[in-house]
Amino acid sequence: EIVLTQSPGTLSLSPGERATLSCRASQSVSSFYLAWYQQKPGQAPRLLIYGASTRATGIPDRFSGSGSGTDFTLTISRLEPEDFAVYYCQVYGSSPMYTFGQGTKLEIK
Amino acid sequence: EVQLVESGGGLLQPGGSLRLSCAASGFTFSTYSMNWVRQSPGKGLEWLSYISSSGTTIYYADSVKGRFTISRDNAKNSLYLQMNSLRVEDSAVYYCARAALVSPDYWGQGTLVTVSS
């Protein structure tokens, strides 16, 4: 089973700043299988990035994903007030079918 | 607009059973595989089960294998999760999520299941 470890656990930044979130896999994964989600309180997760770097429909271009092998990054170039939320990485595997990281909380400084 | 609406959650005692439903609209349900995912404070997001568009291929997480059963009715645009032998640790918000390529793309708002004596 692939384990995803996200860091930091909490990131405190101000609007307008750049956010860099990390996701490390316990074994090498295909970039094709790596996704990022945003979740706000009381809401369902929202797909941001799939295939490690492709933005989902309607996602602003300030969100970008990169990485390969075991290290992946979600970058938010200039934080907007609505970007403060919890972010999860996710990988498609064989068993279990999907594994999620524990999340990074992005909070307003 | 893609919409997924879960229902059927509630409060029940350990050992009990519950059937969750997910009503889909805004897309051709019969052409998409679907998933159930749950979220609890202690375990975060946990994938539970997958069903192919036709219902012929099904997978379960080890944590629910033998206790939960996923099914679908394409004529009714509905997904189901039958949960038996419920445990305290099954308490969570349960989401249905559409499978697209290799990542769930649309999720419902979730239904809360609380198992407590």
Interface check B103 vs A, CB under 8 A: yes
Q: Give me the mean pLDDT over the B70-92 stretch.
A: 97
Interface check B1 vs A, CB under 8 A: no
Interface check B27 vs A, CB under 8 A: no
Write down the pLDDT at residue B19: 98
Rounded percentage of chain A residues whose pLDDT exceeds 70: 100
B102 and A92: CB-CB below 8 Å?
A: yes
B48 CA to chain A: closest CA distance, Å? Answer: 8
Tens of pLDDT, residues B14-45: 999 999 999 999 999 999 999 999 999 777 89
Q: Residue B100 above 90 pLDDT?
A: no
Both tokens assigned to A102 = 């524990």
CA-nearest residue of chain B to A31?
B102
Q: From the candidates A39, A47, A94, which should be mutated to test the interface with B, based on the most B CB atoms within 10 A?
A: A47
